Structure 1
Amino acid sequence: MQTELLTGRAVFTEAYAVIPKGVMMDIVTSYLPLWENTRLWVLSRPLSGFAETFSQYIMEVAPGGGSDRPELDPAAEGALFVMEGEITVELDGRPHVLRPGGFGFIPPASAWRLRNHGNVPARFHWIRKAYEAVEGLDAPEAFFINEADITPAPMPGTDGKWATTRFVDPADMRHDMHVTIVTFEPGAVIPFAETHVMEHGLYVLEGKAVYRLNQDWVEVEAGDFMWLRAFCPQACYAGGPGNFRYLLYKDVNRHMRLSR
């Protein structure tokens, strides 16, 4: 409304960014070639002073929409996570139906299609990364699963108040990125400033919290996205009254590049 004041929680710094749900309006949507009845919100992209290893979209596909050539970059691997509606991913001639909580991993150079055969719009995250091949290691195979079929792994010493739902075995060196779901019960905390080499993308799925990003405390809630550059200190307090959950991306299991 033209009568409203300019207020909001959006923050963009050299160490982190916060894109709150309130700014993800129609005016900031994007479109992709060879996708039908589809729009998206770009949450991150490789950019000087911003994300370096990944891009992340929120895709919104109307009934009947989708693409027969979703990915145009043969070097890109992908992770899909469904929030609303239903999508069908056809890979190597086999259909896989993903509903809310559904997760799919798409290896690089895959021939796949995606369609919404349902009656309501489907909304899902699509995380893309240029796969870093290692001589002697095969690329990981595709797989599809739902978070409900995975038992979250509790963080030691937290009585289960802080737990991680892992879609990939951390010891599987074929994977160079992990996408997980992190859950905090009300009042649970990260009680120290995590400072590490992994870059992060965090999308809040549920609840609210106060997150420590570099030197700042920032309130976040369901629908917000955070980007954290490598080594940005981070911690949080889960605010309740329900669980605080977020979808987490990080780059893993590879040597540090010594040249650009």
Structure 2
Amino acid sequence: MSPYFSPPGGLPPQTQLMTGRAVFTEAYAFLPRGVFSDIVTSFLPGWTKTRLWVIARPMTGFAETFSQYVMEVSPGGGSDAPDPETGAEHWLFFTTGLATLTIDGEGQELETGSFAYIPPGCRWTLHAEGSAPARFHWLRKLYEPAPGLAAPDPLIIAEADIPPTPMPDTQGRWATTRFVDPADLRHDAHVTIVTFQPGGLIPFEETHVMEHGLYVLEGKAVYKLNRDWVEVEAGDFMWLRAFCPQACYAAGPGPFRYLLYKDVNRHAKLRGPGAFGPPR
């Protein structure tokens, strides 16, 4: 059994009551696991035996810096040309299954708990090799270079090989699994796993500049999103725009864990000349 939740797909029966909790606001979006049905899957050119759920994409009033897909690649499926966006960087996190990822001619097997970072400009392919579908999160962002800094190197690592870093003064109840060094300013975004033990909490309203994407991998909690407290569980997704207040209380009997995206380490972009008339 995988410790990470993956959408099972399918369709609800016609006898089911409509009791969903999906919310889309100007400050946040909440997509509960029940929306991940067969009817909302997508397909991509260049991918075979593959379907996906698009849970974040750049658009007005929603995700501004990234896209996120929940991928399901059947045995023998995959792609030799995954993404035509040459300036994109990629993060992959596997929740179940087996696949071979090849980056610039070097191949490596990815399995449950594997994480990969693919810098912009790399040539890469991915093919499902197991007897069951390979399921993984695929996050994409246009890389923002910084003066004097080279692009990061490719990375393939397993979550199990990284000791979580506890937040100070939390007695280990709140910790983050960091796949890259947060002091490495070559990276313009971080994808990490955050873990709360039962009773762990964010005891204040985080209100800061990063855009957030949170996919719940395991457990349950109540999460503060702007003005609202929302019950969340494994399989739910939350998007928070910059400065959206957030807090958390892990209320379940086991660990509460989520895959977290946030943009970091770059200047806020300013509007170009002429946005408010000619310079004075």
Q: What TM-score comes out, normalization by structure 2 length?
A: 0.92
> Which residues in structure 2 correspond to 1:24-173 (within 5 Å)?
24-173=36-185
Q: CA deviation at 1:62?
A: 0.1
Once the two structures are TM-superposed, the CA of residue 4 in structure 1 deviates from its matched residue by: 2.8
Instruction: State the partner residue of 1:17.
Output: 29
Greater gyration radius? 2
**Distance of 1:253 and 1:28 partners within structure 2:** 34
Aligned pairs for 1:184-199 (under 5 A) are 184-199=196-211
Q: How many angstroms does 1:94 deviate by? A: 1.0
Once the two structures are superposed, residues 11-62 of structure 1 have per-residue CA deviations (whole angstroms, 9 ceiling, x without a partner) of: 1000000111111000000000000000000000000000000000000000
- C-alpha deviation, 1:87, in angstroms: 1.4
Partner of 1:210: 222
Tell me the distance in 2 between the aligned counterparts of 1:142 and 1:183.
25
Cα distance in 2 for partners of 1:5, 1:238 equals 28
The alignment-based identity, stated in percent, is: 68
CA distance in 2, matches of 1:128, 1:176: 12
Match of 1:237 among 237, 249, 264: 249
CA distance in 1, matches of 2:212, 2:19: 26
* Alpha-carbon separation, structure 2, partners of 1:195 and 1:172: 23
Cα deviation 1:171-219 (Å, max 9, x = unaligned): 1010000000000000111000000000000000000000000000000
Quote how far apart the aligned CAs of 1:92 are.
1.4
Using the TM superposition, give the Cα deviation of residue 109 of structure 1 relative to its aligned residue in structure 2, in angstroms: 1.1
Q: Which residue of 1 aligns with 2:271?
A: 259
Shift of 1:240: 1.8
CA RMSD of aligned residues (A): 0.8
Tell me the secondary structure at the aligned position of residue 41 of structure 1.
strand
- Measured in 1, the distance between the counterparts of 2:99 and 2:264 equals 28
What residue in structure 2 maps to residue 200 of structure 1? 212
Task: State the distance in 1 between where 2:61 and 2:105 align.
Answer: 40
Q: Which runs of 5+ in 1 are unaligned?
A: none
**Residues matched between the structures, number:** 260
- Letter paired with 1:86: L
Q: Does 1:6 align with 2:18?
A: yes
> For 1:56 and 1:198, how far apart are their aligned partners in 2?
16
Q: How far apart in 1 are the matches of 2:131 and 2:263?
A: 36
Q: Offset at 1:134?
A: 1.5
Q: Within 2, Cα distance between the matches of 1:163 and 1:66?
A: 34
Deviation at 1:5, TM superposition (A): 2.5
2:172 match: secondary structure: coil
